[in-house]
Structure 1
Amino acid sequence: MRVLMVAAENDRLPDCKVGGVADVIRDIPYALNAQGITVKVVVPDYGQYQLNRTFVSDIAVPFRQHLETATLWQVEQGDGVIQYVISHSLFSEHQGAIYCSDEHRPFATDATKFAFFNAAVCEAIEHKMFDDLEILHLHDWHAACITVLQKFSPRFVYLKQLKTVYTVHNLALQGIRPFNHDESSLEAWFPTLSYDGQQLCDHQHPHCFNPMRSAIALADKVHVVSATYSDEVLHTSEPDRGFFGGEGLEHDMQIAKRQGKLVGILNGCEYPAESDEKISLTDYFSLVDCELIQWMAKQSQLRACHYIAHQRLKQWQQAHFTGPLITSVGRLTNQKALILRQPYSTGSVIDELANLIAKIDGRIIILGSGDVELENLFTQVMSRHSNLLYLNGYGQHIGDLLYNLGDLFLMPSSFEPCGISQMLAMRAGQPCLVHQVGGLVDTVTHLHNGFSFRGEDLNDQAMQLIDTFNLALNIFKSNPEQYQQIANNAAHARYTWQASAQAYINYLYE
């Protein structure tokens, strides 16, 4: 069986990761190859000039009423998997950034970039530049236009013979753009394409093209990344109540389920034979100090978040704490922090967690950046609590080390299609406190290998998070044997890519 995976991110390559999809694209091809599947992977080249590349072919791509030239490069071959990138100025003109922010025209720059990438992939497939294929596995909205060209463009004959699998990693991001009357629109990209607007339109904005909805309708299989999430997406989101489900595409997911197309398969995690890197808290603080200095140097004006964090770190380096260390790693978005930002008493839920951990001389370290409003909120919370350190940035090394250092990992996401952070923390023997949604409920069992909560609405979720946090602290302090058993169970839990790969073969490919 011969598979081509198409995505926007790939952590197998340098500087080609923003989120969890990069981890999936890094790992699943090799797990599939171990079970006899030939896998090739292609992503855009974002100006990664340090790649050791081998020229494969130039690709002539009709796009925006011009014939553009892209180039296909092979950048790695090993362990049975071949890695490719496609280069063009559209991919590299933003100083290596994978995604761009269009404040007043959501997705405009990225949608054009990925539409061209999709068109180039289609041309390369049609001209057998990847040799013979059987299955096309597309990831998230960034690869969704391929299904539209496959279905509606008469120029692709060989492409139409391939089976398509579409994986949804984040249903909240759908890449919606107008059908026309905009330079970043379906008809601007492909002006001669005849299409069925009823299949491709967004439900809320019928004059707009929804790439994710299109791929759900047109692909042969639709894959979401946990069993529980495959049920949640069938229901209408109620954000005011704190429930996030189909995000406007629940009807399409219901159709996919009735057609036998919808499959929920949990992502996996690598479990290396060698144990994770160990480090003392003192040495960790030294590493963070260096990272903070580098973050400060990137901007001409000193940001409050970095200044307060640096001062807090200096205080901690001279102090001695006897209580547990609470950790959290992830992008600061409403998905991750909505419950934490809910009002409680005279502050917010995260203020209350800091108050509770202070009672047993514990600390909280939060690493992440994202939404500016949330960054400001966490900076203010840090200023109010001497036992909380908020690191506003991204440093994979200092993030990875936190999985090993912490006593309790905090991940109260409002929705989580799968989640990788909880698996990494559990692998290191750090129990997690999670919201019972998506892949979190599929990996963390309350009082067995972690702690979990739920709630009928946002207020209830906030109260139950606080209660469960209190429970975890009480067990940590009063029943260390039970807590250690929970930690041991977390360390021995296994969610392997081998199991995921076998499910891909059984339920997506065959």
Structure 2
Amino acid sequence: MPATMTRSARPLRVLYAASEAWPLIKTGGLGDVAHALPNALHTLGADLRLVLPAYREVLRQVEDLQILGWLDLGDGSEARIVQAWHPAFEMPLWLVDIGELFDREGNPYVDPDGHDWPDNPQRFTRFSRAVALLGVDTLETGWRPDIVHANDWQTGPVAAFLHEMPQAPRSLYTIHNIAYDGQFDHATFEALHLPARWWSIDGAEFHGRFSPMKAGLMFSDRINTVSPTYAREIQTPEHGYGYAGILQHLRHKLSGILNGIDTRVWDPANDPHIAANYDCDSDLEEVRHLNRKALLEALGAEPQAAAARAPVIGFVGRLVHQKGIDLLIEAIPKLVRQTTVRFAIVGSGERRYQARLEQLRQRLPARVFCYIGYSEPLAHQLEAGADIFAMPSRYEPCGLNQLYSLRYGTPPVVRRTGGLADTVEHASPRALADGSATGFVFDAPTAPALAQALRQALRTRQDPVLWRQLQCAGMQRPLGWEQSARRYLELYRTILQDKRP
């Protein structure tokens, strides 16, 4: 029987729940996954509905709206459920419309000052309750899922609500980053009229607070995360953020599946954002020069600096401790003194790192180029225009930028952690000799270790034949979602075959 078919010979039905999905609304990797994975599953034959909060920004972009009905959320509130369509998705979108919670401008999780919206517990608990009610077809649409697939803390309570319902569908909970768990206090728990039995060590109580993350872990039929290495790492005190013991206890239902990337969006041969399109058969040195020049011009470089052929090390990401941006900032001055390399950095985050980058840019205006903020076109231009991509993360559940870098022939320099360890083959003498090397991997989360790896990359780049081999090895890797989507279908099938506890 095909993995996308049920015993009744109809397509496998999946209700995929997330708090963001590109291009409708995105703050990080979850948004990319919630766009690409459902589409890949649809291509393989699954029958899906993608359920999202009806944020104002989302409602502006969707079309063909149809009201499916209203859900009584059991706490005196209700949610209007709207079906909609968008060209980026192959399946219907189900939007949970609770105006007082989601009809606001800005970031879906934080206010304009960067603080969590104070009503986040209400917003995402009610969203999770609505998802569970859709999972048992409370609206009698005639479509009932076999699997409800929830993602991160914002949908952690979905499985707990399903646990309260008779004949509920099976559930999968995906951890994209266990460091963010959405905790709130007991007074809020009571105000949300949640079942008292959830406030227990065997439920979702976590050190005197309620943890939506723990709700997902405890009540889901299976748990997965976004790389095999991260699945192992979160069972350790260093990376488990207090959940290591719980995950060790639940390891029988925990696994890791690597993310893919949307190779239609991230394709150097057809990317509309870059100056010169290319593939592995192109003159990679010349197209890199053209794209490097366009990148530096976009970042404000003077014409002479932009046209120089000295290499560029790039970074795109959040300017936070996790991403190791402090390590890169510390390494830059010495590398500038010792080499001809320039740095191109695109990102936003903690003000202290933004300020330090601005200071570096002012001190080294011909060597350090920055854009504080996020720009999708600039992210593409950097992948095509940088010679080397730096990703010194202290931890990285999967990571997407190293995959984009491989796809664009921009060898990444990464720390050996999470999905970075699973996706980048270090340029050891043996790997270079057999052609399997795709980048550079270092171990210690220190600026000297990062600088040493970057110097190794710069030395390797001086050998044009070896460098081209390294670039093409990354560009030719299968990085799309098909393989990962097939593994999710296998996991769904396993869940359906599991005996209920």
* Same fold? TM cut 0.5: yes
CA drift of 1:373 comes to 1.6
Partner Cα distance (1:69, 1:215) in 2: 22
Q: Secondary structure at the match of 1:222?
A: strand
- Matching residue's letter, 2:230: Y
Partner Cα distance (1:401, 1:349) in 2: 23
Partner Cα distance (1:125, 1:53) in 2: 23
Partner Cα distance (1:107, 1:151) in 2: 28
Q: Which residue of 2 aligns with 1:98?
A: 108
Q: Which residue of 2 aligns with 1:45?
A: 54
1:367 pairs with 346, 349, 363, which one? 346
Partner Cα distance (2:112, 2:217) in 1: 25
CA drift of 1:118 comes to 1.3
Q: Contact 2:83/2:92 (CA < 8 Å) preserved in 1?
A: no
Q: Which residue of 2 aligns with 1:150?
A: 162
Q: Secondary structure at the match of 1:177?
A: coil
Q: Which residue of 1 aligns with 2:193?
A: 190
- Matching residue's letter, 2:391: M
Q: Which residue of 2 aligns with 1:276?
A: 271
Q: Secondary structure at the match of 2:67?
A: strand
Partner Cα distance (2:398, 2:459) in 1: 29
Partner Cα distance (2:348, 2:114) in 1: 21
Q: Which residue of 2 aligns with 1:217?
A: 218
TM-score, structure 2 as length reference: 0.84
Q: Which residue of 2 aligns with 1:27?
A: 36
Partner Cα distance (2:114, 2:448) in 1: 36
Question: What does residue range 32-431 of structure 1 map to in structure 2 within 5 Å?
Answer: 32-47=41-56, 48-62=59-73, 65-76=75-86, 81-101=91-111, 108-126=118-136, 127=138, 128-129=140-141, 131-152=143-164, 156-158=165-167, 161-180=168-187, 185-190=188-193, 194-201=197-204, 203=206, 206-237=207-238, 245-257=239-251, 260-272=252-264, 274-277=269-272, 278-279=274-275, 280=290, 281-285=292-296, 287-288=298-299, 313-315=300-302, 320-337=307-324, 340=327, 348-356=330-338, 359-360=339-340, 362-386=341-365, 387-431=367-411
Report the CA distance shift for 1:505/1:6 in structure 2 as closer, same or farther (over 3 A).
Answer: same
Partner Cα distance (2:488, 2:242) in 1: 26
- Matching residue's letter, 1:363: R
Q: Contact 1:276/1:428 (CA < 8 Å) preserved in 2?
A: no
Report the CA distance shift for 1:77/1:446 in structure 2 as closer, same or farther (over 3 A).
Answer: closer
Q: Which residue of 2 aligns with 1:297?
A: none
CA drift of 1:76 comes to 4.1
- Matching residue's letter, 1:373: R
Q: Contact 1:431/1:450 (CA < 8 Å) preserved in 2?
A: yes
CA drift of 1:491 comes to 1.0
Q: Which residue of 1 aligns with 2:440?
A: 451
CA drift of 1:193 comes to 5.2
Report the CA distance shift for 1:482/1:462 in structure 2 as closer, same or farther (over 3 A).
Answer: same
TM-score, structure 1 as length reference: 0.82
Structure 1: stretches of 5+ with no match in the other structure: 238-244, 289-312, 343-347
In the comparison of the two structures, how many residue pairs are matched? 450
CA drift of 1:72 comes to 2.4
Partner Cα distance (1:276, 1:318) in 2: 25
Report the CA distance shift for 1:502/1:328 in structure 2 as closer, same or farther (over 3 A).
Answer: same
Q: Contact 2:225/2:397 (CA < 8 Å) preserved in 1?
A: yes
- Matching residue's letter, 1:138: A
Report the CA distance shift for 1:60/1:83 in structure 2 as closer, same or farther (over 3 A).
Answer: closer
Structure 2: stretches of 5+ with no match in the other structure: 1-11, 276-289, 428-436, 495-501
Q: Which residue of 2 aligns with 1:472?
A: 457
Q: Which residue of 1 aligns with 2:4?
A: none
Deviation readout 1:109-130 (Å, 9 max, x if unpaired): 3222111211222233331447
Q: Secondary structure at the match of 2:198?
A: coil
Deviation readout 1:251-286 (Å, 9 max, x if unpaired): 1111121xx210111001233475434414444455
Query: Identity over aligned residues, as a percent?
Result: 25
- Matching residue's letter, 2:372: N
Q: Which residue of 2 aligns with 1:291?
A: none
2:482 pairs with 472, 487, 498, which one? 498
Q: Contact 1:141/1:211 (CA < 8 Å) preserved in 2?
A: yes
CA drift of 1:339 comes to 5.2
Deviation readout 1:316-368 (Å, 9 max, x if unpaired): 566642311111111111111255168xxxxx223334434xx23x3110000
Q: Which residue of 1 aligns with 2:15?
A: 4
Q: Contact 2:37/2:481 (CA < 8 Å) preserved in 1?
A: yes
- Matching residue's letter, 2:220: A
Higher deviation after alignment, 371-380 or 132-141: 371-380
Partner Cα distance (2:449, 2:231) in 1: 25
Partner Cα distance (2:178, 2:412) in 1: 24
User: CA RMSD of the aligned region, Å?
Assistant: 2.5
